[in-house]
Chain A
Amino acid sequence: MVRDPRLPEPLNWGTFTQGLWRDNPVFVMLLGLCPVLAVTNTAMNALAMGIATTFVLLSSGVLVSLLRKLIPKQVRIASYIIIIATFVTIADYAIMAISLDLYNALGAFIQLIVANCIILGRAEAYASKNQVVNAFVNGLGMGLGFTFALLCLGVVREILGSGTLFGLSLFGADFQPWAIFVLPPGGFFVLAFWLFLFAVVRKHRSHSRIQEQEIADAA
């Protein structure tokens, strides 16, 4: 039976894992690629960006879900944008207070979380139709999935491009880093590599699932 998509979804394990794997915002849905390419030149930047985005996803999701019955649908997008922009501003100030170096490294991309389509997408497609707990769990999953994807890129790019990981030197002074990997083109190369890897894994998994199904049917 096809479920009415306008109805609230029950809370289950899938609510959380949706963002981690099945609908991973970067590797599966290819959303929010601007920060994915721009601020993953070091693992630290990737982690900070991931945490900031997760914070905004979580808090805007919870608030949108809390207010979902009060916001008329005619002004819902305007309301979501205001809510998201509020939490982005909070994250912006928080990062500036935590570390100026980190703030300078992330540049304009913290403010640009406002325009990250993952967040507005979650607010519109999930938080506005579901209960607070579900919105929280789903937002956390999505945020962690996004952070995971950023880290995948950040770790590879930092190791190859600078020979370090989280600032710690890995190969000693003799290592000649491939500067291209910390430059924008390197972001595209590494993203392509991860997308390829994920596509292969997913295909393999669905293939073996079909085989298992066939065996079970035969039995």
Chain B
Amino acid sequence: MSDETSPLSTPANPGPASLILTLGIIAMMSGLLVVTTYQVTKPIIAANRQEALEKAVFSVLPEATSKVNFRLDEEGLRRLEGDEMGQANLFAGYDETGELAGIALEGAARGYQDVVRILYGYSPESECVIGMTVMESTETPGLGDKVETDPDFLANFECLEARLNEAGTAMRNEIVTVKSGEKTEPWQIDGISGATVTSQAIGTAIRRSSREMLPLIEKNKESLKRTIDE
């Protein structure tokens, strides 16, 4: 075989400049391709995320038909629009007549494998947790992931008591997960046997989040109700 037809016809010892140039060109091509894809898919991915969150908000607030994103912290309540929507930590749901149907809050706690992220619905009117859905979890299939499907476990969140003390500064009773079948108080979550760690993680997530957020919500209760006209 002559050298012209051989695929190994590149010079055996190219200079350092040509090596760097080759890598540079390839890296630049790669950059162009990646950035183009990123730009094309970015709005679609953002829409997907929004849709997933929206679905979750309406699933934990069964009566809500519209929602408004808020950011609530020590500094107060701030309504978010447009690009800021992603910074929300509180989603207020309103029913058809424009009444506040409930508030969706995020919670997270360490599960068996990794952090379990949840969204739960809180009704200031009945002072109850009225729904819970798992947003992100890598719990063991068939065991830990039962918290997403087990009807008995999900029944805990039809009206789980989340009452504040008289002054409205702290929880009257902290929400806690108990062993399966040992639930005696309305603020206790009946755990799943075989998914103890994960059901406790959900209890912990709601406890931590409610401890922090519920007193703040109490303070801003009126302004949450007022945004109903839209």
Binding site secondary structure of chain A: helix
Interchain CB contact (< 8 A) of B23 among A75, A93, A99:
A75
Asked if A70 is at the interface (CB within 8 A of a chain B CB), the reply is yes
Number of interface residues of B (CB under 8 A): 32
Within residues 172 to 210 of chain B, which ones have a CB less than 8 A from any CB in chain A?
Answer: none
- Chain B contacts of A96 at CB under 8 A? 41, 45, 48
Is the pair B9, A69 in contact by a Cβ cutoff of 8 Å?
yes
Asked if A204 is at the interface (CB within 8 A of a chain B CB), the reply is no
Known A-B contacts A4-B1, A75-B19, A179-B143; the reply to A69 vs B10 at CB < 8 A is yes
Is the pair A183, B142 in contact by a Cβ cutoff of 8 Å?
yes
Q: Can you list, as one digit per residue, whether each of B13-26 has a CB less than 8 Å from chain A (1) or not (0)? A: 01000110011001
Within residues 101 to 142 of chain B, which ones have a CB less than 8 A from any CB in chain A?
Answer: 136, 138, 140-142
Q: Which 9 A-B pairs have the closest CB atoms?
A: A179-B142, A86-B30, A97-B44, A97-B41, A93-B41, A72-B14, A90-B37, A182-B141, A100-B48
Instruction: Report Cα–Cα, A177/B143, bound state, in Å.
Output: 12
Instruction: Report Cα–Cα, A182/B30, bound state, in Å.
Output: 37
Instruction: Report Cα–Cα, A7/B8, bound state, in Å.
Output: 9
Residue of B nearest to A130 (CB): B7
Q: With contacts A71-B26, A97-B41, A183-B141 known, what are 14 further pairs, Cβ within 8 A?
A: A6-B6, A41-B141, A68-B7, A69-B7, A69-B9, A70-B22, A72-B10, A72-B11, A74-B19, A82-B23, A83-B26, A94-B41, A96-B45, A179-B143
- Chain A contacts of B219 at CB under 8 A? none
> How many whole Å from A82's CB to the nearest CB in chain B?
5
Q: List 23 A-B contacts (CB under 8 A).
A: A4-B1, A41-B141, A67-B26, A69-B7, A70-B10, A71-B22, A72-B11, A72-B18, A72-B22, A74-B19, A75-B23, A82-B23, A86-B34, A90-B37, A94-B41, A96-B45, A97-B45, A97-B48, A100-B45, A177-B142, A182-B141, A182-B142, A183-B140
Asked if A104 is at the interface (CB within 8 A of a chain B CB), the reply is yes
Asked if B33 is at the interface (CB within 8 A of a chain A CB), the reply is yes
Instruction: Report Cα–Cα, A83/B29, bound state, in Å.
Output: 9
> How many whole Å from B197's CB to the nearest CB in chain A?
16
Asked if A73 is at the interface (CB within 8 A of a chain B CB), the reply is yes
- Chain B contacts of A67 at CB under 8 A? 26
Is the pair A86, B33 in contact by a Cβ cutoff of 8 Å?
yes
Residue of B nearest to A129 (CB): B7
Residue of B nearest to A4 (CB): B1
Is the pair B19, A72 in contact by a Cβ cutoff of 8 Å?
yes
- Chain B contacts of A71 at CB under 8 A? 10, 22, 26
Asked if B27 is at the interface (CB within 8 A of a chain A CB), the reply is yes
Asked if B78 is at the interface (CB within 8 A of a chain A CB), the reply is no
> How many whole Å from B5's CB to the nearest CB in chain A?
8
Interchain CB contact (< 8 A) of A94 among B8, B27, B37, B143:
B37
A: contact size bracket: 35 or more
List A residues at the B interface (Cβ < 8 Å).
Answer: 4, 6-8, 41, 67-75, 78-79, 82-83, 85-87, 89-90, 93-94, 96-97, 99-100, 104, 107, 128-130, 161, 177, 179, 182-183
Known A-B contacts A97-B45, A104-B136; the reply to A83 vs B30 at CB < 8 A is yes
> How many whole Å from B166's CB to the nearest CB in chain A?
43
Known A-B contacts A68-B7, A71-B22; the reply to A93 vs B37 at CB < 8 A is yes
Instruction: Report Cα–Cα, A83/B11, bound state, in Å.
Output: 22
- Chain A contacts of B136 at CB under 8 A? 104
- Chain B contacts of A179 at CB under 8 A? 141-143
Asked if B52 is at the interface (CB within 8 A of a chain A CB), the reply is yes
- Chain B contacts of A85 at CB under 8 A? 30
Is the pair A6, B7 in contact by a Cβ cutoff of 8 Å?
yes
Is the pair A7, B1 in contact by a Cβ cutoff of 8 Å?
yes
Residue of A nearest to B138 (CB): A107
- Chain B contacts of A161 at CB under 8 A? 141-142
Residue of B nearest to A86 (CB): B30
Instruction: Report Cα–Cα, A94/B45, bound state, in Å.
Output: 9
- Chain B contacts of A7 at CB under 8 A? 1, 6-7
